[in-house]
Amino acid sequence: MPTNLTAFRGIVLGALLVLALAACGYGQIEPPTQTVGPSQSVSPDAASTLTPQPTRPASRYVTRTPTSGPPQPTPTPVKTLDVLPEELSGQKITFWHPWQGQMSGVLQEMVDEYNRTNRWGVNVEIHTFDGFTSLEQAFDTALATSDPPSLVAAYDDRAQHWDQGGQALVNLQTYVGDPTWGLGAEEQADFYPAFWQQGTAYLQDRRGNMTSRQLSIPLHRSELVLFYNQSWAVELGHTDFPETPFELRSQVCKASHANRGTNTDEQTGGLMISSLPASTPGKEIILQPEQLLGWIGAFGGQVSLPEGAGYQFNTPEAQRALEFLKDLQQDGCVYLSDSSTPADEFAARKGLVYIASTADLPAIKAAFSALDSQDEWVMLPFPSANGAAGVVAYGPSLIIPQSSRLQELAAWTLLEWLVYPPNQAHWAQAAGAYPTRYSTLEFLDSAAAADPAWATGLELLPNALAEPPLGSWSVVRWMMGDALAELFSGGFSSEQIPGLLKSLDQLAAEINTQAR
């Protein structure tokens, strides 16, 4: 087993019980706040159409309020989910989220509007935390004391971890499929499949059959993309975007050679990869783990097995991806940046291509502005060897812990309201992130026109690769970051890649068994 992973194995397996209870927020980039303009919202049952209305209502958010029209016969109440609508009156629920600053303020405004206008008389109290790690630790404690919140925004892998055995979280299939309160087939299909499937957990029953549970509904997503200096590429003679790994190789190597000139020690100009704080003692850097998902996907592979069965790293696709990256480095075309302000380096042409999150868009814009740079840059997906270029998407979902039927249904009404397309559009703008539903795009035309760079991310959503929805993911991703650092270390050769992938498979299997 490679030296770095051997050290990491001892650390991980010795601390898994702690890590399994306190998920790490390392590397999970929280979107920056942005100025939010007026945004019209429509309630889930206000109108069947999802197209914007010609006039803006008095409120930005319209909840389930009966529309005006000719008097209708009073229907006989139908009791579904063992609850009549009037039984929700006076229900008080709590909503936990990890955001501070402007995002917290926008979410509070939205919930205040929900409290004022929802027709059932449900009242929501918000509890905000200082980031995902703080929230996750508090939720662990709440579960241990049987006092969880009614609704929580967290990552899907945490939902999988919390619901081991199916005893902690609500199976949302009960609500999604309800004819009165749920989402119809068209509404379910309106969610991007990769994001919806992240919320699905699989359990094996006593007969060995696999059963599924829907533990979460996706709220928003950010993307890991390639930022590409188009102006510089044109100067180097490249007028087309790199669509395959080999086209990317040609372009970044030419940029690297241009920067190097006669200075053989110069390493900038090619594929720029930013480092993060190391998780393994004695190792100076660690690389963003999601990059490995993107590169394996670029060569047609995937890391997670179907139906939550675990991980697969020792595959031909993964080997080709790592060989591509190592060869690129050995040819002097990779720049490993340890700068605390990598966006500034990208703006200064220290990388033709910079791998980063769409959450970094404000920093990148500011960096080019600070240099008064006239360079034009764009966001691109990971290049693909088989024509299926994609990005890596990540982000929080909404989760309902088990409680009473009234509390659960009250939480569901808020969840459904938050992800309804116009409301989700308003929230996505506040988060500087992207929606999880196709129809939400109809409410983002103005935002897209005002920010073409951000709008590019909307076009990349259909081919997004999702993070593995496994409870062990928060630990496995550490291992992947260390593996990338090992790959790019000076003493590592391409001949060692098969052994590295075998080690990844073995360690991931151990972690998944103990930390899920």
**Do residues 424 and 505 share a domain?**
no
Per the prediction, the chain carries an average pLDDT of 85
- CATH number, domain of 122, equals 3.40.190.10
**Do residues 371 and 493 share a domain?**
yes
**Both tokens assigned to 36:** 């939010």
**Do residues 260 and 346 share a domain?**
yes
Give the least confident one: 412-416, 417-421, 465-469, 495-499: 465-469
**Do residues 373 and 275 share a domain?**
yes
Query: Rounded to the nearest 5 degrees, what angle is found at the Cα of 16, between the Cα atoms of 481 and 172?
Result: 85
Q: Which of 216, 224, 249 is nearest to 415 (CA)?
A: 216
Q: Averaged over 136-162, what is the pLDDT?
A: 96
Whether 479 contacts 312, CB under 8 Å:
no
Question: Per the domain annotation, does 15 fall within a domain?
Answer: no
Residue 287: what pLDDT? 81
Question: Per the domain annotation, does 21 fall within a domain?
Answer: no
**Do residues 181 and 196 share a domain?**
yes
Residue 35: what pLDDT? 38
Question: Per the domain annotation, does 32 fall within a domain?
Answer: no
Domain count across the chain: 2
Tell me the pTM.
0.85
Place of tokens 């009156």: 89
**Do residues 310 and 400 share a domain?**
no
**Do residues 197 and 294 share a domain?**
no
Question: What are 426-464's pLDDT values in tens digits?
Answer: 999 999 999 999 999 999 999 999 999 999 999 999 999
Question: Per the domain annotation, does 459 fall within a domain?
Answer: no
Q: 87: burial class by Cβ within 10 Å (0-12, 13-18, 19+)?
A: middle
Q: Averaged over 285-306, what is the pLDDT?
A: 90
Q: Which domain covers residue 283, as residue numbers? A: 223-393+467-515
Residue 81: what pLDDT? 82
Residue 51: what pLDDT? 32
DSSP annotation of 216 reads -
Instruction: Please identify, among 385, 417, 432, the residue that sits at the C-terminal boundary of a domain.
Output: 432
Alpha-carbon distance of 507 to 516, in angstroms, equals 13
Whether 382 contacts 227, CB under 8 Å:
no
**Do residues 269 and 320 share a domain?**
yes
pLDDT at 62 over 90: no
Between 212 and 98, whose confidence is greater?
98
Give the least confident one: 65-74, 264-273, 453-462: 65-74
Instruction: Please identify, among 432, 456, 484, the residue that sits at the C-terminal boundary of a domain.
Output: 432
**Do residues 210 and 254 share a domain?**
no
Residue 236: what pLDDT? 97
Question: What are 483-500's pLDDT values in tens digits?
Answer: 999 999 989 999 999 999
Question: Per the domain annotation, does 318 fall within a domain?
Answer: yes
pLDDT at 169 over 60: yes
pLDDT at 377 over 60: yes
pLDDT at 36 over 60: no
Burial 44-53 (b: 16+ CB within 10 A, else e): bebeeebebe
Pairing of β 222-229 and β 351-357? antiparallel
Whether 269 contacts 355, CB under 8 Å:
no
Question: Per the domain annotation, does 14 fall within a domain?
Answer: no
Q: What is the 3-state secondary structure (H, E, C) of 6-37?
A: HHHHHHHHHHHHHHHHCCCCCCCCCCCCCCCC
Q: Which of 182, 169, 152 is nearest to 214 (CA)?
A: 169
CB atoms within 10 A of CB 194: 19
Alpha-carbon distance of 19 to 137, in angstroms, equals 11
**Do residues 402 and 371 share a domain?**
no
